[in-house]
């Protein structure tokens, strides 16, 4: 039995890229014409000209805090902040809320969040029962998994969260083939079943998300007969990437365009370098263009051994928003990028904040081939101009700084 959902996953990479770039201009135009937010954000942009990744990279990144700010500003007239053209009714069967509070629409199309692909990669198949322990209230996680499972041809038991003993009883009596939910809650269910002496041997697979899934927990579940796979999804975008049986990174979904950019900027980084995940979704109901997730990841070279040909990413590697307060002033990753941009001799830059309260010390480490002190003096002057704070400069050879996506490293708490 094939683990792929359809032929899209194994098409030639060139064919996929051509297809994505062919529909991108129409999605840009749709966002401009049907959402007030992108009519403003993309004002003056010629949609027909956005038919390449290079052209896409020239558009502004919209980050979650900006989406929230627009929603809050328009609460009285448009709770979605102008990011969707849908209205309440049949076209929007549900609306969800994420912490903040950010409101997300759910459209009426089958498998709206595109989770069937991740479930299929995890081994789920038509005719099976899925025990869904994601939350069914406020956040969309429960609906995301249920709509994907139903599109796959599965039946769903909406277990939701909590009531561990009742969850064990339902699994024992209904005998589902697999589980969907957070990995930590699955561990609690398995431990509760062991404590109760209740067999739940029907559970053979799991698709988990919402939190870290370390190899130690993956192996712990395997020892108890459950093969767990993870996926990366957000309430704004739906599925972004998913794990396969190869367990070598996460394969990108077929309906998103993903870029990895330097934190605080919209500038794509070289392949393999850690940066912020920026996603353009092809969802016409909620057409987010260059949406900054705030998550760090990196592109893996090559293709998945399972035969899937889409790009792979390393998975979640931390948060991109590294804003910190130094001597009463906020310093942002975008400011560090602005400083580096002014000096063609400089490659990567990393601000290290150390010291103790009231005696903070900033050191900007920059990769450069230059060794003279004149460049360091010039950079120090720009640090003060951009951040309004004094900072020292240390020049290091190219390739010295870690590839971890950090633009600002705050080590004060470690001292």
List phi, psi (to 5°) of 74. -115, 20
Give the CATH number of the domain where residue 135 resides. 3.40.50.12780
- Do 340 and 297 belong together in one domain? no
User: Is residue 5 in a domain?
Assistant: no
User: Is residue 53 in a domain?
Assistant: yes
- Do 401 and 377 belong together in one domain? yes
- Do 335 and 259 belong together in one domain? no
- Do 163 and 24 belong together in one domain? yes
Name, in order, each residue with C-beta under 8 angstroms of 232's C-beta and a sequence gap of 6 or more: 209, 239, 240, 241, 242, 250, 295, 313, 315, 316
Check if the beta carbon of residue 16 is closer than 8 Å to that of residue 250: no
- Do 313 and 335 belong together in one domain? no
For Cα atoms 218, 252, 1, give the angle at the middle one, nearest 5 degrees.
65
Q: Quick one: which H or E segment has residue 157?
A: strand 155-158
- Do 309 and 329 belong together in one domain? no
Q: Which of 319, 347, 371 is the last residue of a domain?
A: 319
More confident residue, 164 or 358: 164
User: Is residue 106 in a domain?
Assistant: yes
pLDDT at 1 over 70: no
Band the pLDDT of 357: cuts 50, 70, 90. Answer: low
Q: What is the total count of domains within the chain?
A: 2
pLDDT at 188 over 90: yes
Angle between helices 183-196 and 215-223 (to 10 degrees): 30
- Candidates 408, 309, 289, 221; CA nearest to 47 is 289
User: Is residue 307 in a domain?
Assistant: yes
- Do 387 and 353 belong together in one domain? yes
User: Is residue 415 in a domain?
Assistant: no
Q: What is the pLDDT of residue 322?
A: 81
Q: What is the pLDDT of residue 131?
A: 98
**Structural domain containing residue 86:** 13-319
Give the CATH number of the domain where residue 336 resides. 3.30.300.30
Q: What is the pLDDT of residue 415?
A: 45
- Do 250 and 398 belong together in one domain? no
């Amino acid at each position: 039995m094939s683990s792929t959902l359809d032929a899209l996953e194994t098409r030639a990479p060139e064919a996929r890229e051509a297809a994505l770039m062919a529909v991108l201009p129409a999605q840009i135009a749709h966002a401009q014409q049907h959402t007030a937010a992108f009519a403003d954000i993309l004002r003056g942009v010629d949609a027909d000209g956005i038919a390449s990744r290079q052209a896409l990279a020239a558009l502004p990144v919209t980050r979650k805090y900006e989406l929230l700010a627009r929603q809050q500003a328009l609460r009285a007239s448009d709770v979605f902040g102008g990011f969707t053209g849908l209205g309440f009714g049949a076209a929007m069967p549900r609306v969800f809320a994420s912490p903040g509070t950010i409101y997300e629409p759910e459209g009426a199309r089958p498998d709206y969040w595109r989770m069937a692909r991740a479930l299929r990669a995890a081994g789920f198949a038509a005719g099976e029962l899925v025990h869904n322990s994601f939350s069914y209230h406020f956040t969309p996680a429960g609906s995301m998994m249920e709509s994907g499972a139903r599109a796959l041809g599965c039946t769903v038991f909406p277990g939701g969260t909590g009531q561990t003993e009742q969850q064990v009883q339902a699994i024992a009596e209904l005998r589902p083939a697999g589980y969907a939910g957070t990995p930590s809650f699955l561990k609690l269910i398995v431990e509760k079943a062991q404590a109760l002496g209740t067999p739940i041997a029907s559970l053979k697979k799991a698709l988990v998300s919402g939190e870290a899934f370390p190899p130690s927990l993956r192996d712990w579940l395997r020892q108890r007969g459950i093969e767990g796979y993870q996926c990366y999804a957000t309430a704004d975008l739906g599925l972004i990437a998913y794990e396969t049986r190869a367990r070598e990174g996460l394969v990108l979904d077929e309906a998103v365009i993903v870029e990895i950019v330097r934190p605080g900027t919209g500038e794509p980084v070289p392949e393999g370098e850690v940066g912020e995940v920026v996603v353009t979704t092809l969802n016409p109901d909620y057409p987010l263009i260059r949406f900054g997730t705030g998550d760090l990841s990196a592109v893996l070279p090559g293709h998945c051994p399972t035969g899937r040909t889409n790009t792979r990413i390393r998975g979640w590697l931390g948060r991109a928003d590294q804003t910190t307060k130094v001597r009463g002033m906020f310093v942002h990753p975008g400011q560090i990028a602005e400083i580096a941009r002014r000096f063609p001799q400089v490659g990567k830059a990393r601000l290290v904040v150390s010291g103790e309260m009231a005696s903070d010390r900033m050191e900007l480490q920059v990769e450069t081939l230059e060794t003279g002190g004149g460049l360091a003096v010039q950079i120090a002057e720009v640090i003060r101009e951009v951040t309004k704070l004094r900072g020292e400069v240390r020049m290091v050879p190219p390739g010295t700084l870690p590839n971890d996506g950090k633009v600002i490293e705050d080590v004060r708490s470690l001292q």
